[in-house]
Amino acid sequence: MPDEVVETLYALDEPWRSRFLVLVAKMANGWQWDGRVPGRKNVEGWLQRPGVRRATILLLRAWGELKDEKQSSENA
């Protein structure tokens, strides 16, 4: 089953996709990142870390790209 968070990140339009991916890379690497867009495998690995995943979910929800579980169940 595809990871909804990863799929949501990669479904963003440019330039937002690259910006969000670089932000995830920075969060996952203690803000030490060279600005290159990370590969999908790296992003998938970083999103296994609970803190990085939680922060990414919150960002995507704030951006309006990811519904929270409560909203999803209410709309079902």
Q: Which long-range contacts (CB under 8 A, 24 or more apart) does 67-76 make?
A: none
Sketch the domain layout of the chain as residue ranges: 4-70
Tokens of 12: 């963003």
Q: pTM of the predicted model, to two decimals?
A: 0.82
Residue 66: per-residue pLDDT: 78
Q: Quick count: other Cβ atoms within 10 Å of Cβ 10?
A: 13
| pLDDT (0 to 100) of residue 71 | 44
Over its length of 76 residues, how does the chain's per-residue pLDDT go in tens digits?
778 999 999 999 999 999 999 999 999 999 998 989 999 999 999 999 999 999 999 999 998 887 775 444 333 3
